[in-house]
A and B are shown apart, each in its own frame.
Chain A
Amino acid sequence: MSDAVADPAVGRAPGAGTRALPARLTHALPMLRVAEREARIWGRLWHTSLLTGVLMPLLFLGAMGVGLGDLVDDNSGSVAGLDYLVFVAPGILAATALQAASGDSLWPVMAGIKWVKSFHAAAATPLSPGQVFGGWVTWTTARLLINATLFVIVAALLGGVPSWWGVLAPLAAALGGLAFAAPLTAYSAAQDSDLSFPIIMRLAVVPMFLFSGTFFPVDQLPDWLEPLARLTPLWHAVELCRGATTGSITLVGAIGHTAFLLAIVGLGCWAGTRTFRSRIAP
Chain B
Amino acid sequence: MSTAVALAGGRRTLRVVERNSRTYLRAWPAFVSGFLEPFFYLFSIGIGVGALVGQLPGPHGPVDYDQFVAPGMMAVAAMNGCVFDTTFNFFFKYKYAKTYDGMLATPLAVEDIVRGELTWALLRGVLQSGVFLATMWAMGLTPSGWSVLAIPGAAVIGFGFAGAGLGLTTFMRSWFDFDYVQLVIIPMFLFSATFFPISQYPDGLAWVVRCTPLYQGVAIERSLVLGDPSPVLFLHAAYLVVMGWLGLRVAGRRLGRMLQP
Chain A positions near chain B (C-beta within 8 angstroms): 45, 48, 51-52, 55-56, 59-60, 62-64, 67-68, 70-72, 75-76, 79, 84, 195-196, 198-199, 202-203, 206-207, 210-211, 215-216, 220-221
B182 within 8 A of A: yes
B138 within 8 A of A: no
Chain B interface: which size bin?
20 to 34
Beyond A56-B186, A70-B196, A198-B34, 4 additional pairs, beta carbon < 8 A: A72-B52, A199-B33, A210-B48, A220-B48
Q: Note all chain B residues with C-beta closer than 8 A to A45.
A: 176
Q: Are A211 and B44 in contact (CB under 8 A)?
A: yes
A contact patch SS: helix
Q: Are A195 and B27 in contact (CB under 8 A)?
A: yes
Interface string of B48-65 (1 = CB under 8 A from A): 110111101000000000
Q: Note all chain A residues with C-beta closer than 8 A to B43.
A: 210-211
Question: B256 CB to closest chain A CB, in angstroms?
Answer: 30
Question: B34 CB to closest chain A CB, in angstroms?
Answer: 7
Q: Note all chain B residues with C-beta closer than 8 A to A215.
A: 44-45, 48-49
B36 within 8 A of A: yes
- Of the stretches B144-152, B187-195, B224-232, the one at the interface is B187-195
B179 within 8 A of A: yes
Q: Please report the number of residue pairs spanning A and B whose Cβ atoms sit closer than 8 angstroms.
A: 95
Contact of A63 among B33, B37, B195 (CB under 8 A): B195
Q: Note all chain B residues with C-beta closer than 8 A to A207.
A: 40
Q: Are A216 and B48 in contact (CB under 8 A)?
A: yes
Question: A67 CB to closest chain B CB, in angstroms?
Answer: 5
Question: B33 CB to closest chain A CB, in angstroms?
Answer: 4
Question: B188 CB to closest chain A CB, in angstroms?
Answer: 10
Q: Note all chain B residues with C-beta closer than 8 A to A63.
A: 190-191, 195-196
B41 within 8 A of A: yes
B29 within 8 A of A: yes
Question: B214 CB to closest chain A CB, in angstroms?
Answer: 13
Can you show 13 pairs from A to B with CB atoms below 8 A apart? A60-B190, A62-B191, A68-B53, A75-B52, A79-B52, A195-B30, A198-B34, A202-B33, A210-B41, A210-B45, A215-B44, A215-B48, A215-B49
The closest CB in chain B to the CB of A60 belongs to: B190
Contact of B36 among A51, A59, A68, A203 (CB under 8 A): A203
Q: Are A67 and B196 in contact (CB under 8 A)?
A: yes
